[in-house]
Amino acid sequence: MKNIIIFGAPGSGKGTYSDEIVNRYNMGHISTGDVLRGEIKNGTELGKIAEGYIQNGQLIPDDLMISILAKTYDAMPAGKGVIFDGFPRTIAQAEALKKMLAERNHDMGVMIELIVDEETLLARLLNRAIEQGRADDNEETIKKRFAVYHSQTAPLAEWFEKEGMRNTFTWKGSKETMLSEIFAFLDTLK
Ligand code: ATP
Ligand code: MG
């Protein structure tokens, strides 16, 4: 499978659909949120830097995030497509990803955009707060993450549009429906 960038607001299901896609097409998976949470858990220098940003619902600075991403990508098994989950989140990150892949003669592949109404997003994140206890899943931080998403990340959809990579899927109340639409699209790429 080609590389895939999965894109959407906090709680839109990037991680959930990534897992399903990884299983079906036997791909690599890079979740930058998971990478950062792993660093925090292990108490690394990087984790100490990341923690404050995450708890405040802010993005980790681009330079740092881009170098983490390149290191993680180069450690992935070669020859399989990779799904990028949570990256890029800014135009600068998207430009950096494009450059990094071009330098390696790899294709950016396709972007999958998940559109979910904000009421559903908030309900999911509050529910996840109870189930997983993530430090940034509280109502105050969630509001900040939505604001950051709208100001810094959402404009990227247009960037992907210009690259001819944008493929939009809209939540209609059923995970199975969403998944079958995504699979039907990805099956045409194989
Ligand atoms: P979900 O996984 O439910 O879609 P989310 O997108 O808010 O929710 P993660 O992708 O796990 O969650 O990201 C959690 C936090 O990690 C972000 O709010 C941000 O602070 C930091 N982070 C993750 N990826 C990046 C990135 N590419 N650039 C900057 N910060 C990031
Ligand atoms: Mg996630």
- Domain segments of the chain: what residues? 4-177
Give how far Cα 91 sits from Cα of 34, 41, 159, Å. Answer: 21, 29, 7
Residue with tokens 């998403």: 149
* Per-chain residues with Cβ under 5 A from ion ligand 2: 15, 33
Residue 133 Ramachandran class (φ > 0 left, ψ -120 to 50 alpha, else beta): left
Closest residue by CA, ligand 1 atom 13: 33
Segment 129-133 shows an average pLDDT of 92
Segment 103-127 shows an average pLDDT of 97
46, two tokens: 């990087």
Tens of pLDDT along 28-72?
A: 999 999 999 999 999 999 999 999 999 999 999 999 999 999 999
Ligand 1 binding pocket includes 59 (Cβ within 6 Å): yes
Domain 4-177: give its CATH superfamily.
P-loop containing nucleotide triphosphate hydrolases (3.40.50.300)
Cβ–Cβ under 8 Å, residues 83 and 21: yes
Q: Give residues with Cβ within 8 angstroms of 100, minimum separation 6.
A: 66, 69, 70, 73
Instruction: Give pTM, 2 decimals.
Output: 0.96
User: 81 by DSSP, 3-state: which?
Assistant: coil
Q: How far is the CA of 180 from the centre of ligand 1 (A)?
A: 25
pLDDT at 79: 87
The alpha helices in the chain, defined as continuous H runs, are 14-25, 32-41, 45-55, 62-74, 91-103, 118-132, 139-148, 156-163, 175-187
Tens of pLDDT along 134-187?
A: 989 999 999 999 999 999 999 999 999 999 999 999 999 999 999 999 999 999
pLDDT at 78: 87
Helix (H) or strand (E) holding 109: none
Atom of ligand 1 nearest to the CA of 32: 24
